[in-house]
């Protein structure tokens, strides 16, 4: 039998040609668990604001592997010993770091499975794949969880300057067309080094680090926390909440097998077993969109209108303020809605609600970005930087929002 011709090179719009580094990594990419990421959007419902933002978790994961290859090459060149096994484990760990994301990524993180974050599900997927690939992912799992003694390897996967952030800022910036996030990832990677088992950045790259932190802040306020995509995601969360509520009261709702499993069964961290993982691996953006198209014609006023709002991009009005909205204002909007459509307080609360959004561009408490001086001294980037606004970036900024129907609803 002729051997299957294996594709080893992918063409990426950000980096050009990306080489798949090994047969094992190629086999992991070919596995259905990983192929599911082609059907999970990277930026949730941001495409309702930025029409180009239709890229997927699959593209992001492949991009991260490419950056990890570069980082390993740079560190080896600077005398950091990284074995072939460690190199492959790093690439596998970054490849699978987001495999646990559910439909629309962060938008539905706690809606489908309550109290279980995507990192925990990623770890479960890794353990399952480890069994499939004859325990060859054990080292990758140790690096991913931080159990491996060489701490800098875990920092390459998850820290305040990791391969994940370097890829998603550049990628999301490209697909949304917001140039503010277009960071110089090459420059940052070339300036990486390791001292006392910790990842550091050489002093020469201080301005690139400053730009990276400022870019991250701008991308959060301008793109990730954009008020329109935020209200769309809130409506999506409420669609699932209402669907579960109706099912609990005895209503039958049509949905795919995978989605029905999570709607009809209460799944928690304790009950998330191998069977649940198998069902979760069949769940993607299309299940949710299909369900919303179906439910848009449902007799329940709340469910059908929530679905129509998301499907037709006819969203709620949203106002962002520096102070919490007054209680009287919320009650006024609820009262108007109740009178207009004969809804109960509970039903009206699906369309009138408040919340808060917060952004912290840099945390000084853990996983600091450390700058290596020529004399061997190491300092936190905030201490070294002469840019005053970097200190401001290490403070949490919180804003408050109120959502309510537009006058035509």
172 falls within a domain: yes
Count the residues in the chain: 409
Average pLDDT, the chain: 92
Domain boundary among 208, 226, 244: 226
Asked if residue 219 belongs to a domain, the reply is: yes
Residue 151 counted as domain residue: yes
pLDDT over 80 at 386, yes or no = no
Provide the percentage of residues in the chain whose pLDDT is more than 70.
97
Overall domain count for the chain: 2
* Whether residues 252 and 281 fall in one domain: yes
| Same-domain check for residues 251 and 183 | no
φ/ψ (deg, to 5) at 308 = -60, -40
Any domain includes 359? no
Q: So what's the pLDDT on residue 1?
A: 38
Per-residue pLDDT at 102 exceeds 50: yes
Buried b (16+ CB within 10 A) or exposed e, 314-345: ebbebeeeeeebeeeebeebbeebeeeeebee
**Do both 108 and 183 map to the same domain?**
yes
- The whole-angstrom separation of Cα 175 and Cα 105 is 16
Say whether both 173 and 187 belong to one domain.
yes
Q: Does residue 95 lie within any of the structural domains?
A: yes
Phi-psi region of 67 (alpha: psi -120 to 50; beta: other; left: phi over 0): alpha
In terms of Cβ atoms closer than 10 Å to its own Cβ (0-12, 13-18, 19+), residue 111 is buried
Task: Please report whether residue 200 resides in a domain.
Answer: yes
pLDDT tens-digit map of 344-363: 999 999 999 999 998 888 88
**Same-domain check for residues 45 and 119:** yes
The string of pLDDT tens digits covering residues 2-55 is: 445 566 899 999 999 999 999 999 999 999 999 999 999 999 999 999 999 999
**Residues ≥6 apart with Cβ < 8 Å to 271:** none
In this structure, the answer to whether residues 23 and 89 fall within a common structural domain is yes
Predicted confidence band of residue 91 (pLDDT cuts 50, 70, 90): very high
- pTM: predicted TM-score of the whole model, two decimal places: 0.94
> Which CATH number do you get for residue 288?
1.20.1250.30
Domain end (from 206, 226, 246): 226
Residue 85 located in a structural domain: yes
Residue 348 and residue 220 share a domain: no
* Distances from the Cα of 84 to the Cα of 139, 159, 195, angstroms: 12, 23, 21
Reported as a single tens digit per residue, the pLDDT across 199-235 is: 999 999 999 999 999 999 999 999 999 999 999 999 9
Residue 364 in any domain: the answer is: no
Pair (135, 168) in one structural domain:
yes
Domain final position from 226, 260, 293: 226
| 111-166 pLDDT per residue, tens | 888 888 889 999 999 999 999 999 999 999 999 999 999 999 999 999 999 999 99
pLDDT of 387 higher than 70: no
CATH number of residue 175's parent domain: 1.10.3210.10
Long-range contacts of 74-82 (CB under 8 A, 24+ apart): 74/189, 74/190, 74/192, 75/192, 75/193, 75/194, 78/193, 78/194, 80/152, 80/193, 80/194
Q: Is the pLDDT of residue 59 over 60?
A: yes
The DSSP result for 38-84, as a single string, is GGSBTTTTGGGTSTT---BHHHHHHHHHHHHHHHHHHHHHTT----H
* 141, 162: one domain: yes
Q: Look at residue 3 in the predicted model and tell me its pLDDT.
A: 47
Whether 66 and 168 share a structural domain: yes
- Tell me: do 148 and 272 sit in the same domain: no
Per-residue confidence (pLDDT) for residue 269, from 0 to 100? 84
* Shared domain check, 48 and 173: yes
Which phi and psi angles does 57 have, rounded to 5°? Answer: -65, -30
The string of pLDDT tens digits covering residues 292-332 is 999 999 999 999 999 999 999 999 999 999 999 888 899 99
Q: Which domain holds residue 347?
A: 230-315+333-352
Q: What is the pLDDT of residues 76-89, one digit of tens each?
A: 999 999 999 999 99
Q: How many Cα atoms occupy the beta-carbon half-sphere of 324 within 13 Å?
A: 4
């Amino acid at each position: 039998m002729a051997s299957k011709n294996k594709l080893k090179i992918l063409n990426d719009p950000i980096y050009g040609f990306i080489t798949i580094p090994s047969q094992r990594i190629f086999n992991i990419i070919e596995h259905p668990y990983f192929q599911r990421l082609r059907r999970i959007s990277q930026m949730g419902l941001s495409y309702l604001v930025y029409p180009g933002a239709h890229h997927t978790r699959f593209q992001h994961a492949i991009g991260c592997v490419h950056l990890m290859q570069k980082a390993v090459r740079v560190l080896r060149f600077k005398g950091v010993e990284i074995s072939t096994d460690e190199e492959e484990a790093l690439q596998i760990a970054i490849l699978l770091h987001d495999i646990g994301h559910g439909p629309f990524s962060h938008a539905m993180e706690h809606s489908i499975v309550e109290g279980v974050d995507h990192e925990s599900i990623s770890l479960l997927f890794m353990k399952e794949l480890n069994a499939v690939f004859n325990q060859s992912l054990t080292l990758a799992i140790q690096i991913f969880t931080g159990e491996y003694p060489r701490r800098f390897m875990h920092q390459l996967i998850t820290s305040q300057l990791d391969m994940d952030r370097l890829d998603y800022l550049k990628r999301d910036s490209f697909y949304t067309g917001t140039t503010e996030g277009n960071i110089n990832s090459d420059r940052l990677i070339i300036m990486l080094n390791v001292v006392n088992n910790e990842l550091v950045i050489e002093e020469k790259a201080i301005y690139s680090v400053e730009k990276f932190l400022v870019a991250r802040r701008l991308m959060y306020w301008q793109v990730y926390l954009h008020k329109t995509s935020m209200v769309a995601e809130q409506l999506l969360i409420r669609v699932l909440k209402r669907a579960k509520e109706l099912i609990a009261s005895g209503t039958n709702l049509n949905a795919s097998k995978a989605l029905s499993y999570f709607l009809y069964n209460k799944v928690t961290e304790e009950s998330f077993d191998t069977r649940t993982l198998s069902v979760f691996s069949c769940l993607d953006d299309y299940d949710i969109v299909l369900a919303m198209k179906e439910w848009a014609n449902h007799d329940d006023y709340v469910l059908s209108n929530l679905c129509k709002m998301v499907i037709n991009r006819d969203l709620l009005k949203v106002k962002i303020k520096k102070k919490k909205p007054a209680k009287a204002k919320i009650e006024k909007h609820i009262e108007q809605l109740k009178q207009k459509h004969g809804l109960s307080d509970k039903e009206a609360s699906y369309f009138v609600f408040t919340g808060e959004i917060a952004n912290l561009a840099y945390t000084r408490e853990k996983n600091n970005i450390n700058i290596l001086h020529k004399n061997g001294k190491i300092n936190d980037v905030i201490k070294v930087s002469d840019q005053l606004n970097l200190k401001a970036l290490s403070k949490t900024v919180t804003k408050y929002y109120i959502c309510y129907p537009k006058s035509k609803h």
